[in-house]
Amino acid sequence: MNSSALDAVLNHPAIWRGAACAPVQPGLPTGFAELDAVLPGAGWPVGALTEIYAERKGVGELQLVMPTAAALTQAGRWLTFVAAPHIPYAPALAGGGLDLARVLMIDTAAVEERLWAAEQALRAACCGAVLMWLDHVHERALRRLQLAAEEGSATLLLFRSPRVAPATTAALRLHVSRSENRTVVRVLKRRGGALPAPVTLDLHPWIRFPTRSAGSAAAAFYDASHIDRRQFNDASHVDRHDFNDASHVASAELGDAPHDTSSVANNC
């Protein structure tokens, strides 16, 4: 094989060298250069599912995605939280650069309604990313979310317990833990060759607290005792024509969400 033919093979998008990342469309920068360097597309995959397994709550899993979340909201795109385990601390998010007017909090007990809400958000062109907490879910439902993310060119970040089985549809899978007061990110799956060495990050300096001291990063993002729900511009304050036909949304609680998504239009 001559050199030109070899170059043509090596430049094919479905072929990459063994130790390299697969060639994919540019991702959303994470805000951490050392992490971007080991991710295909140099950031969070767009139009794809990313699984984030946290060793325990508050080890840095939410802080890890906040620079990207801030950039999306500042660009006018929505950030949707689905079934967060606790109410994030609004002043900490605002201090991190998020536009709270572009943050939608969705909470419902039924798994089917969580999946419905996430799917509608992902399909909406105005939604940049969905952050979802869900452990036990059928693979078929995850494939639907993957297709919705592709359709809407959105990023799905699924936070899960490390004890649950991984999703085969995930384009990227990370494990987040703590070691010596730093956050350790391990790439468990990526599109490409051999897995890279763990990336160690110091996330604490990124967090800014407008109204309280920076004593506990975990409490800043999960302490509900200081929160006023109105700080988040929940769905009762959302322009009903602004986010994926919000006529189905009475408040941040989607208790009456329909199961048939075919009748819902994307009206961003």
Q: Per-residue confidence at 185, pLDDT binned at 50, 70, 90?
A: very high
Query: Looking at 9-13, 26-30, 32-36, 40-44, which range is the least confident one?
Result: 9-13
The pTM assigned to this predicted structure is: 0.72
Rounded CA-CA distance 192/210 in Å is 41
Q: Judge whether residue 1 has pLDDT over 70.
A: no
> What are the structural domain ranges in the chain?
34-251
Q: Considering the chain, what is the average pLDDT of its residues?
A: 76
Helix ranges, the chain (H): 3-10, 33-36, 66-74, 90-95, 111-123, 139-152, 217-222
Within a 13 Å sphere around the CA of 61, how many CA atoms are in the beta-carbon half? 28
Q: Which residues pair with 14 in a beta bridge?
A: none
- As given in the structure block, the two tokens for residue 126 are 């105005």
CATH of 34-251, one of 3.90.550.10, 3.40.50.2300, 3.30.390.10, 3.40.50.300: 3.40.50.300
Give whole-number Cα distances, 266 to 125, 213, 237, in Å.
8, 41, 19
Write the single-letter amino acid at 100.
Answer: L
Q: What are phi and psi of 113, to 5 degrees?
A: -75, -35
Structure tokens given for 30: 């994470």
Pick 34 or 240 by higher pLDDT: 34
First to last CA, the chain: 52
Q: How far apart are CA 27 and CA 123, in angstroms?
A: 18
6 CB-near residues (< 8 Å, 6+ apart)? none
Pick from 106-110, 144-148, 224-228 the range whose average pLDDT is largest.
144-148
- Specify the length of the chain in residues: 268
